[in-house]
């Protein structure tokens, strides 16, 4: 039986690295733990769906915005490539939404790359809508 847990120990975070690197291949595996720990100092949380093997990982944070009020923002949401289509992503997404409500959020947000069409279909199937464009530039 797969369970969803908040990752707090170095071992839990390290166990998520291989799955997270599927979404964020630009990260260097040896720097993963340090980078996550640094982000956790700024309010980042990580959760995973695990049945002895990590199947899916999410990184998220809470924020207060004039536009939306208290919001959970999901930075990262990824299911291990060999485990996709088995419902793990939906389970983790539903857990995230419930965790957001439990923490006083009235909004739930994430960004998804414009090229991730399968992800867009997944989010729409789970009640999400494309509500804005996200603009960025490298400095």
Domains contained in the chain, CATH given:
3-125 (3.40.630.30)
CA dihedral 41→2→130→62, nearest 10 degrees, is: -20
Q: Which of 70, 69, 132 is CA-nearest to residue 99?
A: 70
CA distance 130 to 110: 10
The helix/strand count (H/E) of the chain reads as: 4, 5
CA distance 58 to 38: 16
Question: By the 8 A CB rule, do 123 and 74 touch?
Answer: no
Tens place of pLDDT per residue across the chain (139 aa): 789 999 999 999 999 999 999 999 988 767 899 999 999 999 999 999 999 999 999 999 999 999 999 999 999 999 999 999 999 999 999 999 999 999 999 999 998 888 888 888 989 999 999 898 888 888 9
Q: What is the pTM of this model?
A: 0.91
């Amino acid at each position: 039986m797969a369970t969803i847990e908040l990752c707090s120990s170095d071992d839990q975070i390290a166990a998520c690295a291989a799955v997270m690197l599927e979404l964020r291949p630009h990260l260097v595996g040896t720097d993963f733990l340090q980078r996550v720990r640094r982000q956790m100092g700024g309010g980042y949380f990580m959760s995973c769906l695990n049945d002895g093997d990590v199947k899916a990982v999410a990184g998220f944070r809470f924020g207060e915005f004039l536009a939306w009020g208290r919001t959970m923002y999901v930075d990262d949401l990824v299911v291990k490539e060999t485990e996709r289509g088995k419902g793990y992503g939906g389970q983790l997404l539903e857990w995230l939404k419930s965790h957001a409500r439990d923490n006083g959020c009235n909004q739930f947000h994430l960004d998804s790359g414009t090229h991730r069409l399968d992800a867009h279909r997944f989010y729409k199937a789970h009640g999400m809508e494309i509500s804005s464009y996200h603009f960025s530039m490298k400095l």
